[in-house]
Amino acid sequence: MIRTILVGIGLLACLPGFAQQKDRFAKRYVNHTEAGVLLGRVNYGGGMGVSETSENKVSITAQVYQGIQFSKPFSAGVSVGMDWYKAALINPIALGVRYDLTRGSSARLYASADAGYGFAWFHSDAEGFKTKGGLMVNPGIGMKYGKPDGAAFTIGLSWRRQEVEVTKPLQWQQIERYEERVYNRLALRVGMSF
């Protein structure tokens, strides 16, 4: 799945619509800083006579996208973020693209796609536990409000999938104990781009 998304991003970059405009568009630096919440529902338990429990989860997220605008609607770059899940603090670093689906007005629809790896650099584990990050994908859509060639207020909605692995202390007669987690969250963020 991750490979498919990365191949798709590569193919999008090759489409003729992404080529430089005939008016000799000058490449420029792009920054998109945003913060918000990660919303999801978690099911756990079940099996061995225990009923499954569902719980709503709300986590905090922030990220900065730094890129180069290659044409008026298209930019590519790197995003760095921090996601505070209940049981893990993850720092995703990803390659990403942004594409303005509409142009010319003060309110513009845009699409985004990021794919990378989440690290557990700032996560503090309890004794005997070891948290490692994993692959992350984050496709989304949003609105920009502001001047077409200037600063804009943004509101975005995306799906964030983050893999995490936790090694746990061994219990009686165990040779291995770990948990693989997949955080599937709806990300709602607001921010500024320029």
As given in the structure block, the two tokens for residue 51 are: 């009923």
Task: Give 180's strand partners.
Answer: 165
How high is the mean pLDDT of the chain? 84
Concatenated DSSP letters for 109-168? EEEEEEEEEEE-TT--PPTT-EEE--EEEEEEEEEEEE-TTS-EEEEEEEEEEEEEEEE-
Decide: 188 and 37 in contact? Cβ < 8 Å.
Answer: yes
Instruction: Pick out the chain residues at pLDDT < 50.
Output: 12, 15-23
Angstrom CA distances, 137 to 14, 16, 42, 108, 191, stand at: 21, 25, 19, 23, 20
pLDDT number for residue 10: 56
Handedness of CA 137, 139, 145, 146 (dihedral sign): positive
pLDDT number for residue 138: 98
pLDDT number for residue 193: 93
pLDDT number for residue 24: 61
pLDDT number for residue 5: 52
Q: Which of 81, 79, 118, 95 is nearest to 8 (CA)?
A: 95
pLDDT number for residue 174: 64
- CATH fold, domain 2-19+27-193, is Porin (2.40.160)
pLDDT number for residue 95: 98
How far, in Å, CA of 87 to CA of 192, rounded?
29
- Per domain, the residue ranges of the chain are 2-19+27-193
